[in-house]
Amino acid sequence: MKIKPIHQLVLSGVFIAIGVVLPIAFHAIGGAGAIFLPMHIPVLVAGFFLNIPYAAAVGILTPLLSSLFTGMPPVFPMLPIMMVELPVYAIVISLLTQKTKLNLFIKLLVAMAGGRIAAGGCVYVLATFFSAKLPGPDVFIKGSVVTGLPGIGIQLLLIPAVIVALDKFMDARHIQTQD
């Protein structure tokens, strides 16, 4: 699907807004953000609809604005980690969506793996060059996957349904260019 730039800009704002509000809802019901990964959902969905620059912007701005407005994620060390991890998710999905015919689940899994590896690289940089007291990158990645398993499961169940629904909505509203 080829979406006009103005629609991409508007969608970017919508995805960012959802990415700021959704974690507030999850934290209001018991601080389950680290387990259910609500900020990841709109960023991952954005990758399916936006070109790489817009998708990257959503991935960078969502945790930044959320941190500024709500204090989540905490400025250090999670904010820089998420500002690396989330754009990788969106960029990988955007790239795979534009360049391949891979199954939606494969795109999600590849993006999730790429984002976690990028987060591990960020942890390494923060620990090595900024003396942050963090676990090693491999321990961080394993821990984030194990802790986030419920969220990963939700993402794998929810995101395909959201993609199908948004595709239908956008087709009905003619929110795409004609090829």
Query: What pLDDT was estimated at residue 178?
Result: 38
Instruction: Report residue 176's pLDDT band, with 50, 70 and 90 as the boundaries.
Output: low
Interval 84-99: pLDDT, tens: 999 999 999 999 999 9
Share of the chain above pLDDT 90, in %: 69
Instruction: Report residue 172's pLDDT band, with 50, 70 and 90 as the boundaries.
Output: confident
Share of the chain above pLDDT 70, in %: 94
Mean pLDDT of the chain: 91
For residues 15-44, give the mean pLDDT.
87
Task: Kindly list the distances between the CA atom of residue 70 and the CA atoms of 20, 94, 100, in Å, as whole numbers in the listed order.
Answer: 8, 28, 37
Interval 116-130: pLDDT, tens: 999 999 999 999 999
* HEC letters along the chain: CCCCHHHHHHHHHHHHHHHHHHHHHHHHCCCCHHHHCCCHHHHHHHHHHCCHHHHHHHHHHHHHHHHHHHCCCCCCCHHHHHHHHHHHHHHHHHHHHHHCCCCHHHHHHHHHHHHHHHHHHHHHHHHHHCCCCCCCHHHHHHHHHHHCHHHHHHHHHHHHHHHHHHHHHHHHCCCCCCC
Instruction: Report residue 135's pLDDT band, with 50, 70 and 90 as the boundaries.
Output: confident
Query: What pLDDT was estimated at residue 167?
Result: 84
Domains for the chain: give ranges and CATH numbers: 5-172 (1.10.1760.20)
- Asked whether residue 177 carries a pLDDT value surpassing 50, the answer given is no
- Asked whether residue 159 carries a pLDDT value surpassing 70, the answer given is yes
